[in-house]
Structure 1
Amino acid sequence: MIPWTLIDTATLPGKGGELRLKQRGTEFSIMLGSNELMNSRLSGSEEALATLSCQRIEGQPQPRILIGGLGMGFTLRAALAVLGPQAQVEVAELVPAVVAWARGPMASVFAGCLDDARVSIVVGDVGRQIAAGPARYDAILLDVDNGPEGLTIAGNDSLYDDAGLHAARTALRPGGVLAVWSSGPDRSFTQRLRKAGFTVEETKVRASRHGGGARHVIWLALRR
């Protein structure tokens, strides 16, 4: 078996630890300690985050979407595949090295999607984009940390608390959708979404696009 090679490291803000980008042949992995956060072979649930969200806003002729977390670009690529030419997609990524990896060693995984004219990349906190103004987005897709129960950066928790969900609802246009990826279920988060004024759907999806791997959770919260 081909051994893993360490390609690069990146320090997370707020004493969140160190990300490690590793490669084995054509496969990439992003690790935090002993936890694998992302693997280039497992894209199913991230792609579902995009496709399920875009289905909810397919009637919008010029949709504007915010994606929180670049990751390995699977959510972005899936969104671009189903959105029309008039769409605008903002991607907010907190860690500059992740963007550099996308344009450098992982360029083959991203397949040029960062150069799509519909895409703009913001290196910074997605929470700031959400708070920038009311009714700006038709969809907000959050694939940040491990979901509502954060694993890497404590500040990410503010996206999922009552104030964070209120901010997201304010940032959405009427009929817009807040979609959240998580590594597992969280009943209290479902309750917070409903309390914040969303109609909530909870879907379990497999990590692999072929139906295998771990079961992840996607919340689709519709602004009433």
Structure 2
Amino acid sequence: MIPWIRLDAVTLDDGVELRLMRRGTEFSIMLGANELMNSRLSGSEEALATLASDRLAGRPRPRMLIGGLGMGFTLRAALKALGGEARITVAELVPQVIDWAGGPMAPVFAGCLDDPRVALHQGDVGELIRGGEGAWDAILLDVDNGPDGLTRQGNDALYSASGLAAAHRALSPGGVFSVWSSAPDAAFTRRLKQAGFTVEEVPTRASIKKRGARHMIWVAVKAG
């Protein structure tokens, strides 16, 4: 069997190590013993984009904010689903993840960061959410492990009542707030509803072949 090779690592603010691993043409991003993402498993990350994009149908110049670069699967799916006038901003907090996208994982990203519709922001997606009322038609979060975070305690603020209120303000009327998670979370569903969203819970599979782990995507819509 081909062994896993550690390509790079970064220690996050709370002292936990984030590692980029490769086995042949397969990549994995690990946090301790937990695998955050794998290049063979893109199904639920792609669904995060397509579910939101479907609800933007008819908007001539949709503005989408994606929190979390990951392996680019959500971005690539959004680019495929949205038209040529769309504008997509991707916020990634960890600079090394951006470096991996343009370096070892460039084949996985397949040039999507060079698309003229894309702007890459190195920083906290929460800052962009709080930065403007009605600034976005869709906000997609694939940050940490979902509402029950693993990598950074500060990420919890995105999923708190105040964080959801900020997302609601940042969306245009009828805007979509879509969130990826490794597991269901009934308390988070309640917070979304309390923040004024109409909420749909969509179970998805990790693999595009409809196999593998079950993940959860919330599709929350602001009243139009």
TM-score scaled by length of structure 1: 0.99
1:149: how far off?
0.6
Distance in 2 (alpha carbons) for counterparts of 1:12 and 1:92: 17
Structure 2: unaligned runs, 5 residues or longer: none
Q: Which residue of 1 aligns with 2:58?
A: 59
Q: What secondary structure sits across from 1:67 in the alignment?
A: strand
Q: Does residue 181 of the first structure (1) align with residue 171 of the second (2)?
A: no
Structure 1: unaligned runs, 5 residues or longer: none
Q: How many residues align?
A: 223
Distance in 1 (alpha carbons) for counterparts of 2:67 and 2:183: 18
1:111: how far off?
0.1
Q: Which residue of 2 aligns with 1:36?
A: 35
Distance in 1 (alpha carbons) for counterparts of 2:101 and 2:157: 26
Q: What secondary structure sits across from 2:172 in the alignment?
A: strand
Q: Which residue of 1 aligns with 2:25?
A: 26
TM-score scaled by length of structure 2: 0.99
Q: What secondary structure sits across from 2:77 in the alignment?
A: helix
* Aligned residue type for 1:203: V
Distance in 1 (alpha carbons) for counterparts of 2:84 and 2:129: 23
Q: What secondary structure sits across from 1:173 in the alignment?
A: strand
Structure 1 residues 60, 20: closer, same or farther in 2, change over 3 A? same
Q: Which residue of 2 aligns with 1:132?
A: 131
Trace 1:47-86 onto structure 2 (pairs within 5 A): 47-86=46-85
Q: What secondary structure sits across from 1:10 in the alignment?
A: strand
8 A Cα contact 1:16 1:152, kept in partner: no
1:63: how far off?
0.2
Distance in 2 (alpha carbons) for counterparts of 1:154 and 1:72: 22
Trace 1:73-152 onto structure 2 (pairs within 5 A): 73-152=72-151
Identity among equivalent pairs (%):
66
Structure 1 runs of 4+ aligned residues shifted over 4 Å read none
1:10: how far off?
1.3
1:11: how far off?
1.8
